[in-house]
Amino acid sequence: MFRTLAATAALVCLTSTTALAHWVYVSNEKDDTVSVIDTETNEVIKTLQVGQRPRGITLSHDFTRLYVCASDSDAVQVWDVATDTLIHNLPSGADPEQFALHPDNKHLYIANEDDAIATVVDVDSRTVVSQIDVGVEPEGMAVSHDGKWAIVTSETTNMAHWIDTGTQQLVDNTLVDQRPRDAEFTEDDGELWVSSEIGGVVSVIDTATKQVTHRIEFAIPGVSKDRIQPVGIELTSDGKYAFIALGPANHIAVVDRTDDDKVIKYILVGRRVWHAALTPEEDKLYTTNGVSGDVTVIDVASLKAEKTIKVGRFPWGAAILPKDKIPQ
Amino acid sequence: MNGPSPLRAFGGIARRELLRFLNQRERFFAALVRPLVWLIVFAAGFRAALGLSIIPPYQTYITYEVYIIPGLLGMIQLFNGMQSSLSMVYDQEMGSMRVLLTTPLPRWFLLLSKLMAGVTVSIVQAYAFLVIAILFGIDIPVPGLLPVLPALILAGLMVGALGLLLASVIKQLENFAGVMNFVIFPMFFLSTALYPVWKMQEASAVLAAICEWNPFSQGIELIRFALYGQVNWLALAMTAGSGLVFFLAASWAFDPSRRFRAGRTA
């Protein structure tokens, strides 16, 4: 009798485990871990021990694999989302910091900070397809939604480099402000947004002409200009908002893209915010606050910070697994 | 023939207090200007644009302006409680309180009515302040405006009861200036109104302990949690408990006939 009851209970548990919420994977640079946050409770539900100094983090387009740049292990680690196990390392080149996965779900573009190159890796065959010479200290990586362009930003050369993904050749460069960090294409690939950490601005580049059309500047009352260091960029797919992480200014700038890219609000978050990730519904934004070691949840509708969640030391990047892809 | 109606008595006392308040426009503005000056001038000096550490009930980083809102609500109530008791000293001296005491209702009931009337006035001031603060763009949770009402009532009763106790033992109107120096200021500055306890701990453990057990701090924390839809049970118990003690002591100490006799023999 008891056994039957227990079996029924177990069955109920198994069948009722349809996830209610998304999972946010956060790479903790100083802890060599990845924290996983449940978006329903906004609490850390598990922590994965990964390679040394995890920074760039992303999920495969089918959400079965988690890619982590383990910078000090000189590897990109591939994790199985279903079992939380390390499948293998990819030959990433030295000191990988940030990467971007091509829409073909096959080619990973990796910035190798110390070697001034970008490495293209075939994630299936685990081979290096190409290595492209770029500017000094490559950092940010982006691939356009149509898959035609891969962008590398180089922190010292102050350029966004345009790589033709068809030929894997560097075909053009756009000069931007000092120390470019992150790059993001708009949904229609018409614009490329590049943040400049020291320059304190975000440059908006026209994809067709590869020229900077305008720059977005920031000013927070009571915060000195040199603390405003834009890094992470998140764009909503409806073309309404851009969220810019302002580093040691401890704020996220909200840019209204429907109103001449005006900054409409600064939202207070934790210390030295570097990156952010939007949920699939784009109703919440999760920001990684390095120095305070936490993640702030921002409600997109009200543009207010709702909660701050403690994670590991120096959270760097975030990637979100949609609820329907969570392993049962 | 009608017996004494407690409701009518309360209505009379409340009306008198409200009328007095409304007739003194400057008092209404003074009551609002004081916390607004603190909010706009004082808080600007400590802006903390980069955020304050997270402490309950806050779920995320806040600016200093947001932190001191409950403290300034407490300030409104503290000053109001003291002013209300000041009016009682005045009433005692001028005789209207003695007239009131001729009603055949228990003394504690009259004192409680007086207290409630004072709290009602302080709540009108508190909500006026909250509305102005919201208009200034301070991030105050709007859903918290309702649950904060019972917290404001309780905290108001507590400081009001303290005021009554002081009024009961103060001999003359002139002595009230001393109350400002020896009661209001220490109570306000040694509380969580302007800085959290952990900040005080960095300065001195003794001061932090005083700050933590100050009944006024507990009243402020009750308001602070209520604004965010939460109940701080310790603050609730401490505020209610100390309020009751102050009130019982005031009821016992308030004996105008004794004072009258003392005045005669003097």
The b/e string for A124-147 (b: 16+ C-beta within 10 A; e otherwise) is eeeeeebbbebbebbbbbbbbeee
Domain assignment present for residue A190? The answer is yes
The b/e string for A17-37 (b: 16+ C-beta within 10 A; e otherwise) is eebebbbbbbbbbebbbbbbb
Return the H-helix or E-strand segment holding B75: helix B64-94
Nearest to A99 by CA among A83, A75, A81: A75
Tokens standing for B39?
């909010």
CB A165 within 8 A of CB A228: no
| Chain segment A7-28, per-residue pLDDT in tens | 544 444 444 455 789 999 999 9
CB A99 within 8 A of CB A76: yes
Please check the confidence at residue A69 and state whether its pLDDT lies above 80: yes
Domain of A218, CATH number, reads 2.130.10.10
Q: Which of A227, A249, A305 is the closest to B61 by Cβ?
A: A305
Tokens standing for B134?
């919201």
Please check the confidence at residue A292 and state whether its pLDDT lies above 50: yes
Percent with pLDDT over 70 in chain A: 95
Distance from CA of A180 to the nearest CA of B (A): 24
Determine contact: B49 vs chain A, CB below 8 A: yes
Per the structure, the count of domains in chain A is: 1
| Chain segment A166-193, per-residue pLDDT in tens | 999 999 999 999 999 999 999 999 999 9
3-class secondary-structure state, position A100: strand
- Helix B64-94 to helix B107-135 angle (10° resolution) is 150
CB A58 within 8 A of CB A72: no
Domain assignment present for residue A98? The answer is yes
ipTM of the complex: 0.80
Q: Which chain A residues are within 8 Å of B139, Cβ to Cβ?
A: 304
| Chain segment B48-80, per-residue pLDDT in tens | 666 778 888 999 999 889 999 999 999 999 988
A308 contacts B59? CB cut-off 8 A:
yes
How far apart, in Å, are the Cα atoms of B117 and each of A36, A125, B86, B104, B231? 54, 81, 14, 20, 25
Determine contact: B54 vs chain A, CB below 8 A: yes
B63 contacts A308? CB cut-off 8 A:
no
Nearest to B256 by CA among B168, B139, B164: B168
How far apart, in Å, are the Cα atoms of B27 and each of A68, B35, B92? 64, 13, 21
Q: What is the mean pLDDT of residues A271-281?
A: 97
Q: What is the DSSP string of B152-168?
A: HHHHHHHHHHHHHHHHH
B47 contacts A268? CB cut-off 8 A:
no
Rounded-to-integer distance, Cα B31 and Cα B65, Å:
19
Return the H-helix or E-strand segment holding A43: strand A43-49
Return the H-helix or E-strand segment holding A141: strand A138-143
Q: Which of A250, A268, A287 is the best substitution to test chain B (most B C-beta atoms within 10 A)?
A: A268
Which chain A residue lies closest to B140 (C-alpha atoms)?
A304
Q: What is the mean pLDDT of residues B199-221?
A: 91
How far apart, in Å, are the Cα atoms of A157 and each of A138, A151, A161, A246, B97? 9, 14, 10, 21, 83
Average pLDDT across chain B, whole number = 84
Average pLDDT across chain A, whole number = 93
Which chain B residue lies closest to A222 (C-alpha atoms)?
B49
Q: What is the mean pLDDT of residues B199-216?
A: 90
Q: Which chain B residues are within 8 Å of A222, Cβ to Cβ?
A: 47, 49
Give the range of the structural domain holding residue A109, as residue numbers without chain letter. 21-325
Please check the confidence at residue B265 and state whether its pLDDT lies above 50: no
Which chain A residue lies closest to B45 (C-alpha atoms)?
A222
Q: What is the mean pLDDT of residues A133-143?
A: 95
Determine contact: B62 vs chain A, CB below 8 A: yes
Chain B residues 136-175 with a CB less than 8 Å from chain A: 139
3-class secondary-structure state, position B114: helix
**Between A and B, how many CB-CB pairs are < 8 A?**
38
- Find all residues with CB under 8 Å of B65, minimum gap 6, and list them: B39, B43, B47, B138
A270 contacts B51? CB cut-off 8 A:
yes
B60 contacts A308? CB cut-off 8 A:
yes
Tokens standing for B202?
């960095």
- Name the residue type at position A157: T
A146 — phi, psi (to 5°)?
Answer: -85, 0
Instruction: Name the one residue in this structure whose structure tokens are 């209404």.
Output: B28
Pick the range with the lowest mean pLDDT from A75-89, A121-135, B40-54.
Answer: B40-54
- Helix B64-94 to helix B25-37 angle (10° resolution) is 150
Distance from CA of B48 to the nearest CA of A (A): 8
Which chain B residue lies closest to A247 (C-alpha atoms)?
B50
